[in-house]
Amino acid sequence: MADDSRFFLVKSKVPMGKHRVLWYNLEDNPSRAPSATAPSPAKACKIDILIPSELLLAQLPEDTFQHASSGYSYPPYLLLVLLKLRAWKDHYSLSAPLHMQNRVPDDEADLDELLRLGRQMTRDEMGWGTTSSSDFIVGNLGEATWLLGGFESVDALLRCVKDYTKRQPKSSLQWQRIGIL
């Protein structure tokens, strides 16, 4: 990544945060690229580096990763949706610090966009592999425990989806379309 100028670092927005945040420029024209001091969320996306042992994530099998034409690989769509749902749950909690609670509208916008993208995808593109939706609902995940997306159980994940759909009722159909409800 050090050789790819499309990646850049930005100071943290977290109060007293000393870390920097990795971003990726989505702009086709490098001269209009976001800078480290003025990233444009519409023209760049934040990159999260996930450490399985710290997020209740199972190790992802190598064959579950998708590969972009740029040569970079990325995790399955379903995992991204469920990790964003988990972030929403953590931020929505009344016990979360205020700066995290302030992220809820962004989490909801991200989830809306991810769910919208799922409408155009096949089950394989989503990352379901050989796991059926009915197997998922009853917790029969076999080797695909990564499908929990950091939740401790399928029941906990489904409770969270139901909480989300109470707050965002229009999303219920989208969760059904991607096979979660």
Residue ranges of the domains in the chain?
A: 1-47, 51-177
Q: What share of the chain is helix, strand, coil (3-state, %, to 5)?
A: 45, 10, 45
Which pTM does this prediction carry? 0.76
* Per-residue confidence (pLDDT) for residue 178, from 0 to 100: 87
Q: What stretch of H or E contains 1?
A: none
Amino acid at 148: L
User: Per-residue pLDDT tens for 136-169?
Assistant: 666 666 666 777 777 888 888 899 999 999 999 9
User: Per-residue pLDDT tens for 75-100?
Assistant: 888 888 988 999 999 999 999 988 88
* Per-residue confidence (pLDDT) for residue 143, from 0 to 100: 61
Q: Whose CA is closest to 22, among 65, 114, 6?
A: 6
Q: Is 129 left (phi over 0), alpha (psi -120 to 50) or beta?
A: left
Q: What is the mean pLDDT of the chain?
A: 78
Sign of CA dihedral 37, 41, 91, 54: negative
> Between 33 and 177, whose confidence is greater?
177
Average pLDDT over residues 114-129: 84
Instruction: Identify whether the C-beta of residue 136 lies closer than 8 Å to the C-beta of residue 79.
Output: no
| Residue 25 pLDDT class (50, 70, 90 cuts) | confident
| Residue 71 pLDDT class (50, 70, 90 cuts) | confident
Sign of CA dihedral 65, 115, 166, 106: positive
∠ CA 40-100-175 to the nearest 5 degrees? 80
Three-state DSSP at 103 gives coil
* Per-residue confidence (pLDDT) for residue 44, from 0 to 100: 74
Determine how many CB atoms are found less than 10 A away from the CB of residue 163.
14
